[in-house]
Amino acid sequence: MATNRQLRRWLCGVLLAGTPLFAQVSSSKTVRHHRVAVDDPSQPPELIQAESAIEKKDYAAAEPLLKKVVDAHPANYEAWFDLGFVYNALGRTDDSITAYRKSVAAKPDVFESNLNLGLMLVKHKQPDAEEFLKAATRLKPESHVDEARARAWLALARLKEDSDPAQALEAYRQAAALQPKDPESRLSAGRLLENEKKFADAEEQYKQALVLDPSSQDALVGLANVYMRGQRFPEAEEYLRKVVNQRPNEAAPHVQLGRVLAADQKYDDAIAELQAGLKIAPGDSDAQRDLADVYLSAGKYSEAETLYRSLLTANPNDAELHHQLGQTFMKLKNFAGAEQEYLSTVKLKPDWGLAYGDLAVAANEMHDYPLAIKALDMRAKFLPEIPVGYFLRATAYDHLRDYHQAAANYHLFLQVANGKYPDQEWQARHRLITIEPKK
């Protein structure tokens, strides 16, 4: 059976990433409105020429033409807008932001200007980005109205995810209402709810996205993650198998499925998936460690020993690996080897109380009673005493013929055993009859 430590690692490790969300690209790219100069012949001829150059992506040619327009007409918001677009395309971020600000200042009620300025400010972590994105959500785009407004809501949602998740979720809801057949906003809302540990709500969003796009890897992975975090292992397995079917030649889905199966104690299936992942990515040390843990949980001790030894060759100062190899040696009844691995463990991690308890057991098996007592005393510095600890300490003192300490610990054991350890309780009572002075 998997230890709590292994299960925690498997639960953390299963959080598989899907394909990059379309939303993260589509809502962050700046937009252009229609060629204003064509629709308004009163505009300067340089603006018409500049927009023709922009259509051909000849930004170097467009820049001087647009600068000529804004020098002559500093309130021409169309020229400032196009200049902001050109500067962005040329990688001149500060100039682009300045131009977009001048466009919005000249005419504050243009959707595209506010959206582009907001997106640029978000990209470069400027504090007033929210102001312009919110303005864009209240304005009407010149074309593709619902799609464009949805993009504004998506951008605002992403901006607010960390600082105000509730506002971000409302923005995702607005985007979904504008684009009801697009899974993008639901996937993003699901991811946010998952991060907020609102798993039932995240599940609902991911399922809605999956209805809209049954092949969505983001939705499949999101559901698998939600189910794994809720320890709903059969459901997590179901969705991860779908991801594996879509991505059979990628290591990560196989490894994550292996972790889910291991957490559900389906060790043979877990081994098969982890081995499949390692066949594709043989250098994945995390997957190797997971496979070694599953070998140990499945009772394949020789395989576990081989893999732990290999991992320790590359990571000699990893306390957990030494501990796991010690656990393997205990199963193989190689108590001397276990004792040495546990000693290495506590040397590397002197505050690991659990490891001191394991060292005490191994030392007791080796009849190294002074070490067993010392290990139990160290354990007590970091963890509460347990009945088995009192009994083990009592028997160690008993073997050393320190009957006073042995009797004291037998009594402490009997006080807390409460009938849960009948064989040891019988032994403790009979030893007390033997070693305690007769009154």
Q: Which pLDDT belongs to residue 14?
A: 47
d(CA 400, CA 155): 72
CA-based radius of gyration for the chain: 33
d(CA 61, CA 50): 7
Q: Which pLDDT belongs to residue 6?
A: 56
Host H or E run for residue 143: none
Q: Which pLDDT belongs to residue 439?
A: 57
d(CA 194, CA 166): 13
For domain 1-17+183-298, the CATH architecture is: Alpha Horseshoe (1.25)
Distances (CA, A) of 27 to 154, 184, 192, 354: 6, 10, 16, 50
Each domain of the chain, given as residue ranges in start order, spans 1-17+183-298
d(CA 151, CA 118): 12
| pLDDT less than 70: residues of the chain | 1-41, 439
Distances (CA, A) of 72 to 47, 63, 65, 67, 424: 12, 14, 11, 9, 97
Q: Which pLDDT belongs to residue 29?
A: 60
- 69: number of CA atoms within 13 Å, CB side? 26
Q: Which pLDDT belongs to residue 143?
A: 86
Alpha helices in 77-216 (DSSP H): 77-89, 93-106, 111-123, 129-138, 145-160, 165-178, 184-195, 199-212
Q: What is the pTM of this model?
A: 0.76
Is residue 169 a contact partner of residue 201, using CB atoms and an 8 Å limit? no
Number of neighbouring beta carbons within 10 Å of residue 163? 9
- Name the residue with tokens 């059969």: 234
Is residue 289 a contact partner of residue 259, using CB atoms and an 8 Å limit? no
